[in-house]
Amino acid sequence: MLCFVAGSMITLGLGLTVAQIFAPFKQVRIVIRALIANFIIVPLFAIGLVSWIPMSEGVRIGIILTSLGGGAPFIPMIIAMAKGHVGGGVGLMMLLLISTVFFMPLAVPVMLSGVSVSALEIAKSLVTIMLLPLVLGLLIKGRFSNLAARIQPFAAKFTNLSILILIIAVLLRYTETIMASIDVLPVIAVFFLGAMMIGYLSGGKRREVRIIFAVGTGLRNPPVAILVASQNFAPEPIAAIVPLLVAIVGILILLPLAVLERKLRGNRQIKIDTNSLT
């Protein structure tokens, strides 16, 4: 899990520039809408969900932790499959990711007030495992761009392998826990669809922005939630499994939608080309 989180951050840093990191912060209205949707509305939606539907303490912790983190590393991949604006997806991912590093340590003790959690320890783990690898990748990209281009594919393969091993290890280690909590899948689906809809409605009038917001807000950042859950809520293993299930359910829902959007985009382009010819 640590390899996946750190590896994904290094991979991102090797492929980005500092200018790309700060580009989304220049669009103030979009930034404000994204921050409100991801760090106010989605957590409030999660609180309402866990308060309304009876569930175990571990599931409750997992959903709340998932709601507090944004900027999943696989946002650009889904947007690329939908033929969307990948640059905008990267920008939103970086905005949410950087905000999560500062927001989550403050929000977790407040949202989970009945649990003893150290904000400082959460901040240290996020900075060490996420921010520093990202900065390292950016430094290599900035000073040795040719080297960055050569090693990025290997970093990406390492990251993909680590997430595969993580999924297999979780399934093997916690099969009984997952089977005992199989009834939580509908709750996870409701949470994901609600978060995705919050993002879509927050995107404004531009279809391109709505798609980026829907993907980014719906996927949250399961690796961050898994990291915090595994390091701070070890007695509740399902708390670390819930974010992983959110990612799996979310991707299973988004992939067909991305393919559908790609086809619709192609049809719209054909119509535009036909109209221009006539």
Q: How far is CA 189 from its chain centroid?
A: 15
What is the total count of domains within the chain?
Answer: 1
Q: What pLDDT, on the 0 to 100 scale, is given for residue 157?
A: 87
Residue 97 is assigned to a structural domain of this protein: yes
pLDDT tens digits, one per residue of 68-85: 988 877 787 788 777 777
Spatial neighbors of 5 by CB under 8 A, at least 6 apart, are 129, 130, 223, 224, 227
Q: What pLDDT, on the 0 to 100 scale, is given for residue 86?
A: 67
Q: How far is CA 46 from its chain centroid?
A: 16
In angstroms, the CA 237 to CA 36 distance is 30
Residue 191 is assigned to a structural domain of this protein: yes
**Contacts made by residues 30-35, CB under 8 angstroms, sequence distance 24+:** 30/204, 30/209, 31/95, 33/202, 33/203, 33/204, 33/213, 34/92, 34/95, 34/96, 34/202, 34/213, 34/216, 34/217, 35/95, 35/99
Q: What pLDDT, on the 0 to 100 scale, is given for residue 268?
A: 56
Q: What pLDDT, on the 0 to 100 scale, is given for residue 26?
A: 75
Residue 184 is assigned to a structural domain of this protein: yes
Q: Which domain holds residue 180?
A: 2-273
Give whichever of 12-21, 122-131, 203-212 has the largest mean pLDDT.
Answer: 203-212
Q: What pLDDT, on the 0 to 100 scale, is given for residue 159?
A: 81
Q: Which residue has the higher pLDDT, 111 or 18?
A: 111
Q: What pLDDT, on the 0 to 100 scale, is given for residue 21?
A: 66
Residue 108 is assigned to a structural domain of this protein: yes
Here the tokens at position 119 are 């904000």
Residue 204 is assigned to a structural domain of this protein: yes
CB 135 within 8 A of CB 18: no
Res 163 pLDDT > 70: yes
* Angle value at C-alpha 144, between 141 and 146, nearest 5 degrees: 90
Residue 278 is assigned to a structural domain of this protein: no
Res 179 pLDDT > 50: yes
Here the tokens at position 145 are 């761009």
Q: What pLDDT, on the 0 to 100 scale, is given for residue 51?
A: 92
Q: Which residue has the higher pLDDT, 45 or 114?
A: 45
The CATH number of residue 247's host domain is 1.20.1530.20
Instruction: Name the pLDDT band for 189 (thresholds 50, 70, 90).
Output: very high
Q: What pLDDT, on the 0 to 100 scale, is given for residue 273?
A: 46
Res 144 pLDDT > 60: yes
